[in-house]
Structure 1
Protein backbone atom coordinates (compact mmCIF):
# COMPACT_ATOMS: atom_id res chain seq x y z
CA UNK A 1 0.00 0.00 0.00
CA UNK A 2 1.65 3.17 -1.22
CA UNK A 3 0.40 6.58 -0.06
CA UNK A 4 1.24 10.12 -1.01
CA UNK A 5 1.21 13.28 1.06
CA UNK A 6 1.60 13.66 4.78
CA UNK A 7 -1.69 12.69 6.38
CA UNK A 8 -0.16 11.98 9.78
CA UNK A 9 -2.37 10.12 12.27
CA UNK A 10 -5.46 10.45 10.05
CA UNK A 11 -3.70 8.73 7.20
CA UNK A 12 -2.59 5.92 9.50
CA UNK A 13 -6.15 5.47 10.80
CA UNK A 14 -7.66 5.48 7.31
CA UNK A 15 -5.03 3.09 5.96
CA UNK A 16 -5.51 0.77 8.94
CA UNK A 17 -9.30 0.73 8.52
CA UNK A 18 -8.93 0.04 4.79
CA UNK A 19 -6.36 -2.68 5.40
CA UNK A 20 -8.54 -4.40 7.98
CA UNK A 21 -11.56 -4.30 5.68
CA UNK A 22 -9.51 -5.67 2.79
CA UNK A 23 -8.10 -8.53 4.91
CA UNK A 24 -11.58 -9.44 6.18
CA UNK A 25 -13.01 -9.35 2.65
CA UNK A 26 -10.21 -11.59 1.41
CA UNK A 27 -10.93 -14.04 4.21
CA UNK A 28 -14.62 -13.95 3.29
CA UNK A 29 -13.71 -15.01 -0.24
CA UNK A 30 -11.44 -17.80 0.98
CA UNK A 31 -8.17 -15.98 0.31
CA UNK A 32 -5.56 -16.20 3.06
CA UNK A 33 -3.57 -13.04 3.74
CA UNK A 34 -0.79 -11.65 5.89
CA UNK A 35 0.01 -7.94 6.32
CA UNK A 36 3.74 -7.21 6.30
CA UNK A 37 4.84 -3.86 7.70
CA UNK A 38 8.51 -4.84 7.49
CA UNK A 39 8.20 -4.65 3.71
CA UNK A 40 8.35 -0.86 4.03
CA UNK A 41 12.08 -1.19 4.74
CA UNK A 42 12.43 -2.44 1.16
CA UNK A 43 10.33 0.29 -0.46
CA UNK A 44 12.80 1.04 -3.25
CA UNK A 45 12.98 -2.62 -4.28
CA UNK A 46 9.19 -2.96 -4.23
CA UNK A 47 8.77 0.32 -6.10
CA UNK A 48 11.21 -0.83 -8.82
CA UNK A 49 9.60 -4.27 -9.18
CA UNK A 50 6.05 -2.89 -9.38
CA UNK A 51 6.87 0.21 -11.38
CA UNK A 52 5.49 2.58 -8.76
CA UNK A 53 6.83 6.08 -9.29
CA UNK A 54 5.92 7.87 -6.10
CA UNK A 55 4.51 7.42 -2.63
CA UNK A 56 5.53 5.97 0.67
CA UNK A 57 5.18 2.23 1.20
CA UNK A 58 3.24 1.68 4.42
CA UNK A 59 2.57 -2.03 4.28
CA UNK A 60 2.50 -4.97 1.92
CA UNK A 61 0.10 -7.89 1.89
CA UNK A 62 0.97 -11.46 1.01
CA UNK A 63 -2.08 -13.36 -0.11
CA UNK A 64 -3.17 -16.55 -1.81
CA UNK A 65 -5.02 -19.78 -1.19
CA UNK A 66 -3.88 -21.68 1.87
CA UNK A 67 -2.60 -25.21 1.44
CA UNK A 68 -4.72 -26.97 4.05
CA UNK A 69 -2.49 -30.07 3.73
CA UNK A 70 0.74 -28.25 4.56
CA UNK A 71 2.34 -29.63 7.74
CA UNK A 72 2.71 -26.13 9.19
CA UNK A 73 -1.09 -25.86 9.38
CA UNK A 74 -1.10 -28.61 12.01
CA UNK A 75 1.51 -27.06 14.29
CA UNK A 76 -0.06 -26.51 17.69
CA UNK A 77 1.49 -24.61 20.53
CA UNK A 78 0.36 -24.48 24.10
CA UNK A 79 -0.96 -21.33 25.67
CA UNK A 80 -0.19 -20.05 29.10
CA UNK A 81 -3.20 -19.13 31.18
CA UNK A 82 -3.93 -15.40 31.15
CA UNK A 83 -3.28 -15.09 34.87
CA UNK A 84 0.20 -16.60 34.39
CA UNK A 85 1.41 -13.64 32.39
CA UNK A 86 -1.02 -10.75 32.91
CA UNK A 87 -1.72 -9.10 36.23
CA UNK A 88 -4.27 -6.30 35.98
CA UNK A 89 -3.50 -3.34 38.20
CA UNK A 90 -6.91 -1.71 38.30
CA UNK A 91 -6.47 -0.54 41.87
CA UNK A 92 -4.11 2.15 40.58
CA UNK A 93 -6.02 2.88 37.38
CA UNK A 94 -7.97 6.09 36.83
CA UNK A 95 -11.58 5.88 38.01
CA UNK A 96 -12.89 6.30 34.43
CA UNK A 97 -10.92 3.23 33.31
CA UNK A 98 -12.24 1.13 36.17
CA UNK A 99 -15.80 2.23 35.40
CA UNK A 100 -15.35 1.44 31.69
CA UNK A 101 -13.88 -1.97 32.49
CA UNK A 102 -16.78 -2.82 34.77
CA UNK A 103 -19.21 -1.75 32.05
CA UNK A 104 -17.41 -3.92 29.51
CA UNK A 105 -17.56 -6.92 31.83
CA UNK A 106 -21.30 -6.44 32.23
CA UNK A 107 -21.71 -6.16 28.44
CA UNK A 108 -19.79 -9.41 28.03
CA UNK A 109 -22.12 -11.12 30.44
CA UNK A 110 -19.70 -11.47 33.34
CA UNK A 111 -21.30 -12.45 36.62
CA UNK A 112 -19.37 -9.88 38.60
CA UNK A 113 -17.36 -6.73 38.14
CA UNK A 114 -13.55 -6.78 38.02
CA UNK A 115 -11.84 -7.87 41.19
CA UNK A 116 -9.71 -4.97 42.38
CA UNK A 117 -8.25 -6.75 45.39
CA UNK A 118 -5.25 -9.03 45.53
CA UNK A 119 -6.26 -12.63 44.96
CA UNK A 120 -5.52 -13.59 48.55
CA UNK A 121 -7.94 -10.95 49.85
CA UNK A 122 -10.56 -12.02 47.31
CA UNK A 123 -10.27 -15.66 48.32
CA UNK A 124 -8.85 -16.72 44.94
CA UNK A 125 -5.52 -18.29 44.13
CA UNK A 126 -3.11 -17.49 46.96
CA UNK A 127 0.11 -17.42 44.91
CA UNK A 128 2.21 -14.38 45.90
CA UNK A 129 1.90 -11.49 43.48
CA UNK A 130 -1.26 -12.71 41.79
CA UNK A 131 -4.48 -10.82 41.47
CA UNK A 132 -8.08 -11.86 41.14
CA UNK A 133 -9.65 -12.43 37.76
CA UNK A 134 -10.49 -9.47 35.57
CA UNK A 135 -14.11 -10.54 35.04
CA UNK A 136 -15.60 -13.54 36.78
CA UNK A 137 -17.68 -15.74 34.49
Structure 2
Protein backbone atom coordinates (compact mmCIF):
# COMPACT_ATOMS: atom_id res chain seq x y z
CA UNK A 1 0.00 0.00 0.00
CA UNK A 2 1.23 3.45 -0.80
CA UNK A 3 0.19 7.07 -0.67
CA UNK A 4 -3.16 7.82 0.93
CA UNK A 5 -3.56 4.28 2.24
CA UNK A 6 -0.72 4.73 4.75
CA UNK A 7 -0.66 6.77 7.94
CA UNK A 8 -2.44 6.69 11.28
CA UNK A 9 -5.82 5.04 10.94
CA UNK A 10 -9.14 5.71 12.59
CA UNK A 11 -11.22 2.56 12.10
CA UNK A 12 -14.80 3.27 10.99
CA UNK A 13 -16.25 -0.09 9.96
CA UNK A 14 -15.23 -3.75 9.76
CA UNK A 15 -17.59 -6.52 8.69
CA UNK A 16 -18.14 -9.69 6.69
CA UNK A 17 -20.82 -9.68 4.00
CA UNK A 18 -22.68 -11.81 1.47
CA UNK A 19 -24.87 -10.92 -1.49
CA UNK A 20 -27.90 -10.36 0.74
CA UNK A 21 -25.94 -7.85 2.86
CA UNK A 22 -24.98 -5.58 -0.07
CA UNK A 23 -27.84 -3.04 0.28
CA UNK A 24 -27.24 -2.65 4.04
CA UNK A 25 -23.48 -2.50 3.50
CA UNK A 26 -23.92 0.27 0.94
CA UNK A 27 -25.98 2.29 3.44
CA UNK A 28 -23.37 1.82 6.18
CA UNK A 29 -20.56 2.89 3.84
CA UNK A 30 -22.57 5.92 2.69
CA UNK A 31 -23.20 7.00 6.28
CA UNK A 32 -19.52 6.65 7.24
CA UNK A 33 -18.40 8.50 4.09
CA UNK A 34 -20.65 11.44 4.99
CA UNK A 35 -19.37 11.42 8.60
CA UNK A 36 -15.79 11.47 7.27
CA UNK A 37 -16.50 14.63 5.25
CA UNK A 38 -17.17 13.44 1.71
CA UNK A 39 -20.07 15.22 0.04
CA UNK A 40 -21.69 15.65 -3.34
CA UNK A 41 -20.13 13.79 -6.25
CA UNK A 42 -17.14 12.68 -4.17
CA UNK A 43 -19.52 10.99 -1.72
CA UNK A 44 -21.43 9.36 -4.60
CA UNK A 45 -18.19 8.22 -6.23
CA UNK A 46 -16.83 6.68 -3.02
CA UNK A 47 -20.05 4.80 -2.28
CA UNK A 48 -20.22 3.53 -5.87
CA UNK A 49 -16.57 2.44 -5.95
CA UNK A 50 -16.88 0.52 -2.68
CA UNK A 51 -20.15 -1.04 -3.83
CA UNK A 52 -18.57 -2.21 -7.11
CA UNK A 53 -15.66 -3.75 -5.20
CA UNK A 54 -18.04 -5.47 -2.80
CA UNK A 55 -20.16 -6.87 -5.63
CA UNK A 56 -16.98 -8.22 -7.25
CA UNK A 57 -15.91 -9.87 -3.99
CA UNK A 58 -19.23 -11.69 -3.66
CA UNK A 59 -19.59 -12.52 -7.35
CA UNK A 60 -16.04 -13.67 -8.04
CA UNK A 61 -14.68 -14.48 -4.61
CA UNK A 62 -16.64 -17.40 -3.28
CA UNK A 63 -19.86 -15.70 -2.15
CA UNK A 64 -18.55 -13.76 0.86
CA UNK A 65 -16.32 -10.78 1.45
CA UNK A 66 -14.81 -8.67 4.19
CA UNK A 67 -14.78 -4.89 4.30
CA UNK A 68 -12.66 -2.55 6.41
CA UNK A 69 -13.22 1.20 6.27
CA UNK A 70 -10.90 3.74 7.88
CA UNK A 71 -9.76 7.30 7.59
CA UNK A 72 -6.44 8.94 8.12
CA UNK A 73 -5.40 12.58 8.04
CA UNK A 74 -5.72 12.77 4.24
CA UNK A 75 -8.12 10.12 2.96
CA UNK A 76 -11.06 7.82 3.43
CA UNK A 77 -9.89 4.29 2.68
CA UNK A 78 -11.48 0.90 2.16
CA UNK A 79 -10.12 -2.62 1.97
CA UNK A 80 -12.28 -5.32 0.43
CA UNK A 81 -11.14 -8.93 0.52
CA UNK A 82 -12.47 -12.36 -0.38
CA UNK A 83 -11.39 -16.00 -0.18
CA UNK A 84 -11.96 -16.82 -3.85
CA UNK A 85 -9.55 -18.55 -6.21
CA UNK A 86 -7.91 -15.29 -7.27
CA UNK A 87 -8.63 -13.17 -10.30
CA UNK A 88 -7.66 -14.19 -13.79
CA UNK A 89 -4.46 -12.59 -15.04
CA UNK A 90 -5.24 -9.11 -16.32
CA UNK A 91 -8.82 -9.12 -14.98
CA UNK A 92 -8.04 -6.62 -12.22
CA UNK A 93 -6.00 -4.32 -14.43
CA UNK A 94 -9.07 -2.29 -15.35
CA UNK A 95 -7.12 0.28 -17.34
CA UNK A 96 -8.71 -0.41 -20.74
CA UNK A 97 -12.26 0.70 -21.47
CA UNK A 98 -14.40 -2.47 -21.58
CA UNK A 99 -15.89 -3.41 -24.95
CA UNK A 100 -19.59 -2.47 -25.21
CA UNK A 101 -20.63 -6.10 -25.67
CA UNK A 102 -18.41 -7.55 -22.91
CA UNK A 103 -20.14 -9.16 -19.94
CA UNK A 104 -17.62 -8.05 -17.34
CA UNK A 105 -14.69 -5.82 -16.54
CA UNK A 106 -16.60 -2.62 -15.95
CA UNK A 107 -16.42 -2.70 -12.14
CA UNK A 108 -12.63 -2.44 -11.88
CA UNK A 109 -12.53 0.07 -14.75
CA UNK A 110 -15.12 2.22 -12.97
CA UNK A 111 -13.33 2.02 -9.63
CA UNK A 112 -10.10 3.17 -11.34
CA UNK A 113 -11.94 6.14 -12.86
CA UNK A 114 -13.42 7.24 -9.53
CA UNK A 115 -10.77 6.58 -6.85
CA UNK A 116 -7.72 8.71 -6.09
CA UNK A 117 -5.76 5.56 -5.36
CA UNK A 118 -6.40 1.87 -5.96
CA UNK A 119 -4.17 -1.09 -5.18
CA UNK A 120 -4.92 -4.79 -5.44
CA UNK A 121 -3.37 -8.18 -4.91
CA UNK A 122 -4.78 -11.51 -6.03
CA UNK A 123 -3.72 -15.11 -5.63
CA UNK A 124 -4.88 -18.57 -4.65
CA UNK A 125 -5.95 -17.33 -1.19
CA UNK A 126 -8.22 -14.61 -2.57
CA UNK A 127 -8.19 -11.01 -3.69
CA UNK A 128 -7.51 -7.80 -1.76
CA UNK A 129 -8.63 -4.42 -3.07
CA UNK A 130 -7.67 -1.10 -1.48
CA UNK A 131 -9.46 2.10 -2.46
CA UNK A 132 -8.66 5.61 -1.24
CA UNK A 133 -10.42 8.95 -1.73
CA UNK A 134 -8.79 12.22 -0.70
CA UNK A 135 -10.75 14.04 2.01
CA UNK A 136 -11.58 17.73 1.58
CA UNK A 137 -9.40 20.28 3.31
- Normalising by structure 1, we get a TM-score of 0.26
Greater per-residue helix proportion: 1
Q: Select the structure with the greater relative contact order (CA < 8 A; seq sep ≥ 6).
A: 2
Q: Which of the pair has more CA radius of gyration?
A: 1
Higher strand share: 2
TM-score (norm: length of structure 2)? 0.26
